Each structure stands twice: as structure tokens, then as C-alpha cells.
Amino acid sequence: MRRRSVKRTTIRILLVLILGVVTTFGVAWGCMITRLLPDTSGTQGYAFEGGTNAGWWIGSVEVGFGWRSCALYTDLPWITGGRVTPEPLPDWIDQSTPHPPLLEGEVTAQVTCGWPNLCLTAQQRGTDNTEAYIARGGPVQPGVGAQEVLWDAWDHAINLSPQDRAFTRRFAAIPLGIIWPAFLMNVVLYTSAWLALWLLTFGARRFVRFSRGRCVTCGYDLRGQTDNACSECGRGRIRDSY
């Protein structure tokens, strides 16, 4: 009987852990898809500097509740009136990939999502097609970066359509790449929440059954029964539990 109880408890804990993992993915993807509470001030062009392979980067950044997106382009960020003062590269940008891009005229983009920690990410590469864009008569926006980009498919992501060719844009992808430290912290948080909910529900059910004179394990009516064990499931009546 004890082995069966241990096995049942182990299965329940594993199910709660799976719920924590599923919830972590679900919340991250929900933030990315719905893009709640967008910060419109975060859609402007920025100039970043720093990191290994130092250089000047023109960055397009977009910020919202539970998600961040950016595009980086290696160039000298000249804006009307002079060169801008660079800002540090944001902490949420993945430093595991080489920035700035190794090839001249190459653009890189990244999207990251998750709550409370940004835990899923995807990267994308593209080629600057600005000269062809200008030749077709397209308007030029100084200080933003590439005016037109021929983007490749997203890596570690579910690619969505349409695929915008602009540099400053909403990123059409659902990230699958895992940022492990943040991902594990989110899993622990959501698993703890599911476990607390299960314990509260389990304890409340046992209390209600006991207060109504029923077996706390199977719910069998024990009123009028004098034995210490339930005649239905064989478990103790546990009168002193509450």
C-alpha cells in the first residue's frame, strides 16, 4: 500500500512539473503573440556600442509586456545634425551569437519573450538591400539602419508570415530557443504555483469529506461505522487530522 502511495505521489509531482514547463512556454508565447501593453517609445532607432568585436551598431528596438525585439546593423550611426551618442547594448540581447555581424552588409535580428523572465529567443539574419531600395525611389530615413533587408528564415523559431522586408518592424516568429537560467527560474515559479494550488485543493477536499463523516481518501460514507479503517478502501479514518 505504501509503495502504491509513493508511486501515486511521484506521478502527481511529475504532472505538476510538466504543467510548470507547459505554462512557461504558454505564457512566453502568449506575451509574444498578443504583445500586451506595447511601449511605443521603444520602436525608435537607437545606436548601440560595445560587446566583443566592438563597433557601432544602429539598433531598432521594440519593447512590450513580456517580449523584446531588436535589429542590429553594423555602421557608423550618422543622424541629421551629427553622430549620436551610443547606448550600451541591452542585457536581454543574446551575447552568445557574434555581434556585430561578421559579413559586411549583414543584419541580425533577435526576439525574446517570457514572463517574469525573458526565457525564449530566436535569431534571424538578413542582407542589406538599401542600394536597390534607393534605386527604386524609396525614401531614406537617416540613423535608422538598413532601409530594406532581405531576411532569411528565423532560427530556433516557428516562422510566421508575412515577412516584412523593413529594418524597423514587428518580428513574425514564435521563439523556440531556450535561455536556460531564465527558463528554469520560470519553470520553478509556475511549478510552485501549480503545486500550491494542488495542495490547497487536496487539503480542502479532505477537510470537507472529514467534516461530513466520509472517508478522506475515497469519500465513502463512514457514519455509523465503528472500525478505524474505511470498509470501502481500507484506509484509516484519520479522525485526528483536523
pLDDT for res 241: 41
Same domain, 163 and 199: no
Does residue 13 belong to any structural domain of this protein? no
Same domain, 97 and 165: yes
Look up the domain containing 237 and give its range: 186-241
pLDDT for res 242: 38
Query: Bigger pLDDT: 200 or 14?
Result: 14
In the chain, % of residues over pLDDT 70: 59
pLDDT bin (cut points 50, 70, 90) of residue 52 is very low
Between CA 97 and CA 170 the distance in angstroms is 21
Query: Bigger pLDDT: 204 or 190?
Result: 190
pLDDT tens digits for 139-194? Answer: 877 666 788 888 888 889 988 866 678 777 667 788 999 999 999 999 999 999 99
Cell of 45: 532607432
Does residue 6 belong to any structural domain of this protein? no
Between CA 224 and CA 238 the distance in angstroms is 15
Between CA 68 and CA 30 the distance in angstroms is 13
Same domain, 235 and 148: no
Does residue 135 belong to any structural domain of this protein? yes
Query: Bigger pLDDT: 173 or 43?
Result: 173
pLDDT bin (cut points 50, 70, 90) of residue 105 is confident
pLDDT for res 94: 63
Does residue 199 belong to any structural domain of this protein? yes
**Partners of 11 in the β-ladder:** none
Same domain, 191 and 104: no
Same domain, 68 and 114: yes
Counting the structural domains of the chain, the total is 2
pLDDT for res 201: 79
Does residue 10 belong to any structural domain of this protein? no
In the chain, % of residues over pLDDT 90: 19
Does residue 48 belong to any structural domain of this protein? yes
Cα-Cα-Cα-Cα dihedral sign, residues 77, 101, 63, 51? negative
Cα-Cα-Cα-Cα dihedral sign, residues 163, 169, 182, 155? positive
Does residue 19 belong to any structural domain of this protein? no
pLDDT of 38 strictly over 60: no
pLDDT bin (cut points 50, 70, 90) of residue 22 is very high
Does residue 5 belong to any structural domain of this protein? no
Among 7, 8, 26, 24, residue whose Cα is nearest residue 198: 8
Same domain, 190 and 159: no
pLDDT for res 118: 92
Same domain, 116 and 174: yes
Query: Bigger pLDDT: 115 or 82?
Result: 115
Among 34, 63, 25, residue whose Cα is nearest residue 176: 25
